[in-house]
């Protein structure tokens, strides 16, 4: 999976879950600024696990602050060189 594919798939999950426009999401975007709370992050993590066939620990979810944090964690698990 390429970096672009990973970013676009993750962005799709966020836009669907948080009801925001894709252009509102950059690597620097703070999840709280998009209205995401801890329950939203848990729900999205579950969807990321399904989409990318990975496992995400609760501890890792708690460390997420930005969209870039999500991409960093996903790329480490998926094996993409992001």
What is the predicted pLDDT for the residue at 1? 81
Q: How many CB atoms lie within 10 A of CB 64?
A: 19
pLDDT of 72 higher than 70: yes
Q: Over range 62-71, report the average pLDDT.
A: 96
Q: How many CB atoms lie within 10 A of CB 50?
A: 10
What is the predicted pLDDT for the residue at 79? 80
pLDDT of 82 higher than 80: no
Contact 80, 2 (CB under 8 A): yes
Structural domains of the chain, count: 1
| Residue 64: domain span | 3-78
| pLDDT tens digits for range 4-57 | 999 999 999 999 999 999 999 999 999 999 999 999 999 999 999 999 999 999
Q: What is the CATH number of the domain that holds 55?
A: 1.10.1200.10
């Amino acid at each position: 999976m390429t970096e672009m594919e990973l970013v676009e798939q993750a962005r799709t999950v966020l836009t669907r879950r948080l009801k925001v426009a894709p252009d509102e999401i950059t690597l620097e975007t703070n999840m709280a600024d998009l209205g995401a709370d801890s329950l939203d992050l848990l729900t999205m993590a579950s969807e990321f696990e399904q989409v990318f066939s990975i496992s995400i620990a609760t501890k890792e979810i708690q460390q997420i602050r930005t969209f870039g944090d999500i991409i960093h964690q996903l790329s480490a698990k998926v094996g993409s060189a992001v």
